[in-house]
Amino acid sequence: MDYKETISYLSKTAFKQGIRYDLGPFLKVLERLHHPQKNLPKAILIAGTNGKGSTLTYLAAGFQFLGIRVGTYTSPHFNDYTERISIQNEPISQPDFVTYFEKVQKADPDHTLTEFEILTAMAFLYFNDQKPDILLIETGLGGRLDATNVISPILTIITKIGLDHQAILGKTLPDIAKEKAGIIKPNVPCITLRQSKPVLEVIQKTAKACESPLRVVSPLRSIPKNYVMQGLYQRDNLALARTAIQLVSNTSAEEGFKYAQIWGRYLKLRHKNQTIIIDAAHNQDGARALKKSLKRDFPNQEPLFLIGIYKAKDAKAFLKGLSAFDYCDFEPGFSYSLEDIQRLAPRAKITPYRPDAIPTLPKHPLIVITGSIYFISKFKPFFTI
């Protein structure tokens, strides 16, 4: 099987398996692979609704500044599946990607695994062979029954928790917090934010039951002006990363943090005569945080929002408060249709934006491209850091 065939299988056949919140089939395949999750380097496992990717990015930059070789497992990707499995910011090669995919497929002859489970098993095998000094692993969805949660980390981190994936994780914040807190391990330290009271109570209760030392950190007052990532919400993520580096390495990595950058996290660009903000807000809390950053940086300007939303997201909550925006059904069948959005935001003035119009932008001095990561990724080849 070549790389194109591998990607075709992952993006079509395996992707159609959907999300399975059950570790049974995955554990059987790991057993046939001789339990690669048990031989991993030291790992930090990160769960949460918002901020996982940014927190991981700060950590990677910090550890690398300290001379530590870092492996990362993230999701989703922007342009290519290989981005999800990296060492020192260098994605796995396409030939290696195919090799590890075939190893997992051989252990799963009945094709029981989902896309995410296949990639997670591949990452375990790859990191077993490459042996980085430390791994930073981001959960896919939830925590308790996430495929990544079969590892034995040296530290767990829980970022901001909000409403997302309610159909799977539960309808209330405490329900969702319980699933996210499922990554907490007996006697393994955990770091989290000063969350809302119902969320924090769940995390504290879980940590106590696991005898896990829990550190609760407050957001920073501000992000230093010489840091690349400037979204207001990064105050949470940087606070978590600072505490984690100090706990694991007993030192500071401030010089490394300032160079941390991740595409699509309040990315500010100039294009011709326009200012473009690209942000993967993707849920209600993300949208709220984005608006706060825009109010800080552009207090007297009304942005034009260009939005595309994956069907699994709560589009009604995301669009709350928007009176006008351009909408893109970027992948019919996968993203909300224009008709769906008109029904969910009946009072808003909605202008259609065709996928084939990318990267051409509407004429407006301030454009905000936001919504699902899958949508904003369409712009990555044209608007880079």
**Amino acid residing at 73:** Y
Q: What is the pLDDT of residue 282?
A: 75
Residue whose token pair is 């939005």: 307
Average predicted confidence (pLDDT) for the chain:
92
What pLDDT is recorded for position 18?
62
- Would you state the pLDDT for residue 350? 96
> Is the pLDDT score of 217 beyond 90?
yes
Q: Omega before 332 cis (within 30°)? A: no
Identity at 47, one-letter amino acid code:
A
- In this structure, the strands spanning 85-87 and 70-73 are antiparallel
**Tens digits of residue pLDDT in 28-45:** 999 999 999 999 999 999
Cis peptide bond N-terminal to 355, omega within 30:
no
Predicted pLDDT at 166 = 54
Question: What are 328-354's pLDDT values in tens digits?
Answer: 999 998 899 999 999 999 999 999 999
263 to 44, 51, 219: CA distances (angstroms): 22, 13, 22
The two three-digit tokens of residue 201, written as one number:
């109570």
**pLDDT-above-90 percentage for the chain:** 72
Q: Which residues 6+ apart lie within 8 Å of 195 measured at CB?
A: 160, 161, 177, 203
CA–CA separation, 57 and 42 (whole Å): 17
Q: What is the pLDDT of residues 304-334, one digit of tens each?
A: 999 999 887 888 888 988 999 999 999 998 8
> Rounded CA gap, 58 and 62, in Å?
6
Q: Does position 151 have pLDDT exceeding 70, yes or no?
A: yes
3-state secondary structure of 250: coil
Q: What would the mean pLDDT of 172-194 be, rounded to a whole number?
A: 94
pLDDT band at 58 (very low <50, low <70, confident <90, very high): very high
Weakest mean pLDDT among 49-63, 124-138, 156-170, 227-241: 156-170
| Stretch (H or E) spanning 238 | helix 234-249
Which residues, listed in sequence order, are joined to residue 192 by a DSSP beta bridge? 158, 216
Percentage above 70 pLDDT, the chain: 96
State mean pLDDT over 149-172.
Answer: 82
pLDDT of the residue at 141: 79
Give yes or no for residue 171 having a pLDDT over 70: no
Cβ count within 10 A of residue 186: 8
pLDDT for 226-269, tens place per residue? 998 988 889 999 999 999 999 999 998 999 999 999 888 899 99
- For the stretch 81-129, pLDDT in tens is 999 999 999 999 999 999 999 999 999 999 999 999 999 999 999 999 9
What is the predicted pLDDT for the residue at 283? 79
Q: For residue 353, which of 380, 319, 326 has the smallest C-alpha distance?
A: 326
pLDDT recorded at residue 21: 72
Q: Which residues, 6 or more positions from 33, have their beta carbon under 8 angstroms from its beta carbon?
A: 103, 104, 107, 121, 124, 125
Structural domains of the chain, ranges and CATH numbers in brackets: 3-257 (3.40.1190.10), 267-379 (3.90.190.20)
Q: What is the pLDDT of residue 384?
A: 77
DSSP summary character for residue 92:
P
Q: Per-residue pLDDT for 181 more than 80?
A: yes
Return the pLDDT at 256.
93
Taking residues 67-93, what's their average pLDDT?
Answer: 95
